[in-house]
Structure 1
Amino acid sequence: MTTTCAGTHFFRNMIKLFLTVWMMLILPISYAGQTPQHDFIQLNNGRIRLTFNKSTGGFVSMEDLVKKEMISKTGSSGIQTPWELYIDKAGASQRADISSFKEFSFENNKPDALTLIWKGWRESGDNDTKVTVTVTLEKGKALSAWNIKVEGLKGRQLSKVVFPRVGGLPNSADEYLAVPHWMGELLQDPGAQLAALKNTPQQFDWFYPGHLSMQLLALYNKQGRGFYAACDDAAAYRKNLAVVLEPSGTLAYQMENFPPLEANRLAYQLPYNAVIGSFHGDWITAAEQYREWGTQQAWCSDSRLKNNATPAWLDSTALWVWNRGKSDQVLKPAVDLKERLGLPVNVLWHWWHGCSYDDGFPEYLPPREGKTPFIESVKWSQEHGVKSLVYMNQIQWGNATASWEKEHASLLAVKDKDEKISSHVYNIFTGKALTNMCVGAEGWRNKYVSLADSVVNDYQVNGVYMDQTCLSRMCYDKTHGHPLGGGNYWVKNSGKITEGIRSKVLHNKQIALAGEGVGEAWMPYVDAFLVLQVSRERYAGTQGWQPIPFFQVVYHPYSLAYGNYSSLLTPPYDELWPEEHKPATTLQPLDKMFNKQFLMEQARSFTWGMQPMIANYLPLLATERKEEIDYLLTLSRVRNKGLKYLLHGEFRRAPEMTIPEEELSISKLSIYAGQKENVTTFHKKYPVVYSSSWKSADNMLGIAVASIYDKVYDVKMDFRSADYGLPASGKIYLVNEAGRKQLGTYSKGKVRINYALPAKGICLIEIAAR
């Protein structure tokens, strides 16, 4: 009996040995098939787990270990490449990924750090090309830092490095994609929107610095499972962030990096780390996570608003008027509105210049009404307390202008790889193009500074709105003295323009320099940012993306945001455009069914911590749209009482309330040159009460509430004071147009608010220590 058992064990052991040897022999050929479970490399810090294929280095999955959720999963095939290289040589471009290399190895000596190495690019015919990726988990956080180095280039140029690329992200109608496309936008079911695109690949991408104001995006579902992607680039290198629909039907995230072209470059290493991780929450949670890093950077310590370097008159602006045309069409209506409001009103002034809008730049001077009348009108408005911020595009020159040829402007223009200029026709009536100028070219910087010098000193305006400032271009002109193509020269040189203008200001005059959109990298250079997504429906309709105050959650105390397209009139028409295209009616009241759209835009501005604005204001609106103008004036007065929150406060998630919705009529009509279209009408449900919370520097909480509801709304809030860093007991105040009064008290760390907000009421609720 004993002998028989021993023989059986021997036979079984021989079978196991045979199977083991056999598996070892066939494993190398399983590259494109299913990889065995044990052929993984894993990083684990107790918060997240990253998995890579041991045979190829392909990305496999990311898991949130705290919530026990799979964030991304590509399958175990091992061919999901975490990077792509685009390499130029002799005029041809080639793409390489992990399957393009002969050898793969890795170093995994720590549970939270990994080095992946690929050697021998097959297309190069040598074994010197090497790609090294390092991935490190951050201690105690569900975040990882990724970096890449490419060696052995030998005269080949890296035009683009796609890294990291994380595939297998969920794609369902339950997913939300939040992107800081300037102020911020949110899209439900991004996969469906991507699938509808006709281009290949089907992807969304945004460039930074530029339309992407911050370096992050977030993908999450209603249950709060979230994917977080960012990078720790504090020097504003050019890059794209993208979301791609994969052939498998899942989504992928990728960052597209653009190394500057350098002759005889042998190696390239990403000068910053990509950040990949998970979170549990929504877009506010992701923004708060980014805020921990972003507010530690130099653009915050050097922020003009935070350092009290912005003009006092700009900070105290209670309301903006955005009108166009000669001074009678701009300054007189603003003075009228200031007298009605009783607080500072200033103007954003388009079409003051002598050239046609969107084709004649930069031939701004003299103004279209003449130098002397213009100066006299500016002085008159200043005497009446209204200051002017005039339009001057920072990066465009019309190539049909006389100055284009006379001043050899093409030498200073942005060039592509083929040394061709980059032009675009914005003006659909004249068909004349504007050409991108390079801020890295000293000649263009000097040109713009000289023009601004004349405008603020000779023509005595109070500042310049530098359109398209918070954008960047990649320029390949070798004569400009900057790195070619990618790099981080754009923001720094744009900053030289603002520094140059301020150096020319006479008599300690306080001028404001404003930029288009928002951008973290421009906060040390720009005094204010024109943010238009409050009115996104007005220029883009109601489908797809919706605006969110993503940027304000991160940087509100460091950046002054103002503006919207909010208007009660049809747009004007530039008198210098062709007469035959002029609409039959301009500056006529819109249908009253769109009045609530106007109120909604103003309520958003108030609760999103922005200086309010009205576009196309005429005094007739004070009677023909009295309720709407009165609402705007009330909103401006209440906001003015709470500047420590709504100008300088830090965003906090608002206490939960049950908010009713209502179907609104939405008008879509271009406010610029696209006047050949008629008003397009949409109907969509929107909240009729808007709220936000802001923490002040003296440890008080301000809760802004704005109603566009036709009924009384019961404001009911119940929250813990500790959630906002407030003391366990204190007082509750109500601030409205009538003043400030105490609503009640709270104790034992529990705050309860119950207040009947009147129809279309606007207020600020303060929580303060006793």
Structure 2
Amino acid sequence: MKLDKNAKESPGKLHEMPCTTGEAQPGSSPSKPGMGTITAATDIDAKGRMRWKDAVLSWRLLLGDGKTELQEVSPENLVLAKSESASGRVTLLWQREDGLSIFVEWKEVGDEWEGKISYSGVPEGIYVEQVIFPEAQIPFQESGRILLPRFQGWIVSSEFLRQYGLRRFFGTMQFCAVLQGEKSYYFACHDPKHCSKEYEYNISGAGDDSVLTLKYIHHLPLSKELAPSGKLPYSVAFRTFSGDWYEAARIYRKWAIQQKWYLYGKAKKNPLRELSLWVWNRTDVNIVTLPVEKIQEDLGLPVAVHLTYWPDKSNTHDYPLYWPPRGGVDAFEKTMRRLKDKGIHTMVYLNGVNWDLGGAFAEEGKASGVVQRDGSIPSSTYPPFNDHPLGHICGEIGKFHEALSEQIDLVIRHGVQGVYLDVVGLMAIFNCYNPLHSHAPGGGSYYADGYHEYLDTLRSKYPGICFATENSPEAFLGKFESMLYLNHGQERFNRCCPPFQAMVPAFNAIYHGISSQYGTYTTIDGRQPVDRKYWPKDFPLIWKEEQELDWQTVYPDQFFFEIARMIVWGLVPSIHNLTMEHCTSEKYAKEYTFLKDAVRFYHENLEFLFDGDMLKLGEFECEQKEFLFATRMVLTSPENLQTIKAVYPCVLHSIWRAPSGDEALIAANCTWEEQTFRYQERKYQIQAHQFMKIKL
């Protein structure tokens, strides 16, 4: 497949476009490409693979008995028994001598092709364990990029794919896009139940003669009802388009806003809407909440605190058992009540998915835990010094959730107003074959179904209590009032430069205005918190004082840039590891003032920055400069510290439409100097470290 050498990247700019890192650009306003229709049988080859424009679409099934090696069935080893194409519709039937039949239908619906696949005649004792549909081959330019449904949106480059390949479970959304200007491709799953599925990308060939192979891998339950005949219980969709990540997100939005999770979430009034700052502090709540009270007093605005490392034990030990808190139960309750009286929203960390394989819950956890196809129990070790690996829960309500509920009841009875359930929002990353569970082994929707049921039970029992989780999962919109999101600080993760490319706010271009999205590793002084009581004393994550840098001097812009990006992305301003020194010392006065200015600006513009719909950025011009970022997070050791250099605009911006219909440009100057920018041929001045709203 030969690429058109005249294909061009669409012009445009991102909120922050690094010249040297290859970060994503939104395209110009998309022209409606039109899908065209299949009008001749020559568009179907002898094996039944459908060629549309430059793409070739096919499928594969993987059959097995749940234990032994999977066997592949594809158009290459079946006979094409039927091939019909008419205006806007293609039907294909393959058969095998033993009676196995595969039926595929492609139908033109608006600007998209929607595909369905079903099967019958599966031999006795055999299941269709995986459906790969579609398997698409697409001409791929070396400058092309892939938008993936991880976090708010993750863009990777051809370099990344060539080095690593890519196969992951779907996360926050159910679409991907191949971004290459006027020859971009969009693929989605119209799955209302969030069944277990993965995406896979690989590149073959070289340069602009490369071919990208995309696979959507759907895991089916090993159910006797589906054994002889069945179907993928939802359709897939694809189309071409002209544009970039924003255009792809808005295509998906057309389907997404019709779904129950969006309608449910949008219909609810989020009680946390007025929150204007989240503080993420760790260890003894009786100490680390004092600066929260200070900044709330200085602001006079609603503030929330997310508390981690609060139990009196090593972090991750004995999950899901946490109680008692450090400092004693009485002191804990007294602090929670005092904060509530002051109007500060309190939330504590609990893990909603992981259980300690080496702790007090080890044996009980096995009844609830994931068991893989080979009978093994998957586990992860976090943090790296943890001597207790963590198992995973599949979502089915059981012993784990009973124990977790007891912990939730304890913290709520002692004055906590919100509970953070970690990991739930990452969605299913394992299929479960635990014979003790009632769900069919293999794939299915039991993860989303189980946690929907569990959250509904919690809400019924604890009206007025708010819940949060990690990531931005569409499956749980409205089920969680707030969502912890960290990857807007992509430089700390070293995800802004090739081969990783960039994070983009695709989720907010689709779903903004439902959840209170917060979270950051940004600190005022550049230092990260440590748990000196329970971390190993000689562990390198505990930095010695002589290893600490003058972070404000070495990385003078990082704090300001990260706070500004939160604002223009429509996230709630957040700060990590806030101390009383940060709030009172002249050394940090500029940073503390900027943080308060950001919070006040956000609060004054909630109709745009919480309620608003993210619009296309339009033509925006300003100076650019090289910014320096430290890749330091909580678990970064001194020898692993890196400096990221990236060229970004000096003024970050976004455009929003409020529910009233009003539109506004939001601008933030990340630099120490006054800046000039131009929007729609008008010139504006913005002072150093200032925010600006321009009504359009």
Deviation at 1:308, TM superposition (A): 3.4
Structure 2 counterpart of 1:66:
none
Deviation at 1:232, TM superposition (A): 1.1
Structure-2 change in CA distance of 1:369 and 1:430 (3 Å): same
Q: Which moved more, 1:176-185 or 1:250-259?
A: 176-185
Structure 1 counterpart of 2:95:
119
Structure 2 counterpart of 1:38:
none
Question: Is residue 466 of structure 2 the alignment partner of residue 512 of structure 1?
Answer: yes
The one-letter code matched in structure 2 to 1:167 is Q
Question: Is residue 119 of structure 2 the alignment partner of residue 145 of structure 1?
Answer: no
Structure 2 counterpart of 1:421:
377
Question: Is residue 494 of structure 2 the alignment partner of residue 540 of structure 1?
Answer: yes
Tell me if the contact between 2:622 and 2:677 (Cα under 8 Å) persists in the aligned partners.
Answer: no
Deviations 1:182-219 (A, max 9, x none): 111223xx22222223xxxxx312313xxx21111111
Equivalences for residues 370-519 of structure 1 within 5 A: 370-405=328-363, 408-456=364-412, 458-470=413-425, 471-472=427-428, 473-505=430-462, 510-519=464-473
Equivalences for residues 229-268 of structure 1 within 5 A: 229-246=187-204, 249-263=210-224, 265-268=227-230
Structure-2 change in CA distance of 1:535 and 1:329 (3 Å): farther
Question: Is residue 658 of structure 2 the alignment partner of residue 696 of structure 1?
Answer: yes
Tell me if the contact between 2:195 and 2:443 (Cα under 8 Å) persists in the aligned partners.
Answer: yes
Alpha-carbon separation, structure 2, partners of 1:55 and 1:393:
53
Alpha-carbon separation, structure 2, partners of 1:480 and 1:57:
40
The one-letter code matched in structure 2 to 1:54 is D
The one-letter code matched in structure 1 to 2:159 is A
Question: Is residue 47 of structure 2 the alignment partner of residue 56 of structure 1?
Answer: yes
**Which of the numbers 591, 595, 604 marks the counterpart of 1:632?**
595
Structure-2 change in CA distance of 1:573 and 1:588 (3 Å): farther
Tell me if the contact between 1:595 and 1:628 (Cα under 8 Å) persists in the aligned partners.
Answer: no
Tell me if the contact between 2:318 and 2:361 (Cα under 8 Å) persists in the aligned partners.
Answer: no
* Stretches of structure 1 lacking an aligned partner (at least 5 in a row): 1-44, 64-71, 75-80, 121-125, 198-202, 719-751
Deviations 1:516-563 (A, max 9, x none): 001111103111111111112113354323111000000002333112
Tell me if the contact between 2:187 and 2:239 (Cα under 8 Å) persists in the aligned partners.
Answer: yes
Tell me if the contact between 1:441 and 1:481 (Cα under 8 Å) persists in the aligned partners.
Answer: no
Question: Is residue 348 of structure 2 the alignment partner of residue 348 of structure 1?
Answer: no
Alpha-carbon separation, structure 1, partners of 2:478 and 2:341:
31
Deviations 1:254-306 (A, max 9, x none): 11000011136101211111101111111111111111110011011111xx2
Alpha-carbon separation, structure 1, partners of 2:282 and 2:657:
37
Alpha-carbon separation, structure 2, partners of 1:418 and 1:657:
54
State the identity as a percent: 24
Structure-2 change in CA distance of 1:677 and 1:497 (3 Å): farther
**Which of the numbers 174, 180, 183 marks the counterpart of 2:152?**
183
The one-letter code matched in structure 2 to 1:272 is Y
Alpha-carbon separation, structure 2, partners of 1:116 and 1:246:
28
Structure 1 counterpart SS, 2:556: helix
**Which of the numbers 64, 86, 89 marks the counterpart of 1:88?**
64
The one-letter code matched in structure 2 to 1:395 is V
Tell me if the contact between 1:319 and 1:344 (Cα under 8 Å) persists in the aligned partners.
Answer: yes
Tell me if the contact between 1:453 and 1:501 (Cα under 8 Å) persists in the aligned partners.
Answer: no
Question: Is residue 615 of structure 2 the alignment partner of residue 646 of structure 1?
Answer: no
Question: Is residue 104 of structure 2 the alignment partner of residue 128 of structure 1?
Answer: no
* Stretches of structure 2 lacking an aligned partner (at least 5 in a row): 1-32
Deviation at 1:591, TM superposition (A): 4.4
Alpha-carbon separation, structure 1, partners of 2:513 and 2:338:
33
Tell me if the contact between 1:239 and 1:257 (Cα under 8 Å) persists in the aligned partners.
Answer: yes
Deviation at 1:713, TM superposition (A): 2.4
Alpha-carbon separation, structure 2, partners of 1:535 and 1:452:
30
Tell me if the contact between 1:571 and 1:587 (Cα under 8 Å) persists in the aligned partners.
Answer: no
Deviation at 1:247, TM superposition (A): 5.7
Question: Is residue 559 of structure 2 the alignment partner of residue 598 of structure 1?
Answer: yes
The one-letter code matched in structure 1 to 2:657 is K
Deviation at 1:370, TM superposition (A): 1.3
Q: How many residues align?
A: 644
Alpha-carbon separation, structure 2, partners of 1:641 and 1:137:
45
Equivalences for residues 36-75 of structure 1 within 5 A: 47-48=35-36, 52-60=43-51, 62-63=52-53, 72-73=54-55
Equivalences for residues 214-363 of structure 1 within 5 A: 214-221=173-180, 223-246=181-204, 249-263=210-224, 265-303=227-265, 306-311=266-271, 314-363=272-321
Deviation at 1:677, TM superposition (A): 4.0
Structure 2 counterpart of 1:705:
667
The one-letter code matched in structure 2 to 1:659 is C
Question: Is residue 695 of structure 2 the alignment partner of residue 762 of structure 1?
Answer: no
User: Which structure is richer in relative contact order (CA contacts within 8 A, separation 6 or more)?
Assistant: 2
The one-letter code matched in structure 2 to 1:692 is S
**If you compute each CA radius of gyration, which structure gives the higher value, 1 or 2?**
1
Deviations 1:615-671 (A, max 9, x none): 111122242222222111111101111111111111111231113211111101232
The one-letter code matched in structure 1 to 2:270 is T
Alpha-carbon separation, structure 2, partners of 1:252 and 1:593:
43
Structure 2 counterpart of 1:522:
476
**Which of the numbers 543, 554, 569 marks the counterpart of 1:583?**
543
Deviations 1:239-258 (A, max 9, x none): 11222223684111211000
Structure-2 change in CA distance of 1:521 and 1:417 (3 Å): same
Alpha-carbon separation, structure 1, partners of 2:377 and 2:126:
25
Tell me if the contact between 2:369 and 2:392 (Cα under 8 Å) persists in the aligned partners.
Answer: yes
Structure 1 counterpart SS, 2:240: strand
Deviation at 1:611, TM superposition (A): 0.4
Structure 1 counterpart SS, 2:435: coil
Structure-2 change in CA distance of 1:761 and 1:309 (3 Å): closer
Structure-2 change in CA distance of 1:587 and 1:382 (3 Å): farther
The one-letter code matched in structure 1 to 2:107 is T
**Which of the numbers 621, 626, 633 marks the counterpart of 2:582?**
621
Deviations 1:589-615 (A, max 9, x none): 634222311111111110111101011
Alpha-carbon separation, structure 1, partners of 2:380 and 2:618:
46
Structure-2 change in CA distance of 1:309 and 1:444 (3 Å): farther
Deviation at 1:316, TM superposition (A): 1.1
Deviation at 1:440, TM superposition (A): 0.5
Structure-2 change in CA distance of 1:630 and 1:671 (3 Å): same
Alpha-carbon separation, structure 1, partners of 2:596 and 2:268:
27
The one-letter code matched in structure 2 to 1:632 is L
Structure-2 change in CA distance of 1:381 and 1:675 (3 Å): farther
Deviation at 1:309, TM superposition (A): 4.2
Tell me if the contact between 2:113 and 2:238 (Cα under 8 Å) persists in the aligned partners.
Answer: yes
Deviation at 1:375, TM superposition (A): 0.8
Alpha-carbon separation, structure 2, partners of 1:764 and 1:206:
39
Structure 2 counterpart of 1:738:
none
**Which of the numbers 170, 185, 193 marks the counterpart of 2:160?**
193
The one-letter code matched in structure 2 to 1:625 is Y
Structure-2 change in CA distance of 1:179 and 1:169 (3 Å): same
Structure 2 counterpart of 1:10:
none
Alpha-carbon separation, structure 2, partners of 1:595 and 1:497:
45
Deviation at 1:46, TM superposition (A): 5.8
Question: Is residue 139 of structure 2 the alignment partner of residue 169 of structure 1?
Answer: yes
Structure 2 counterpart SS, 1:153: coil
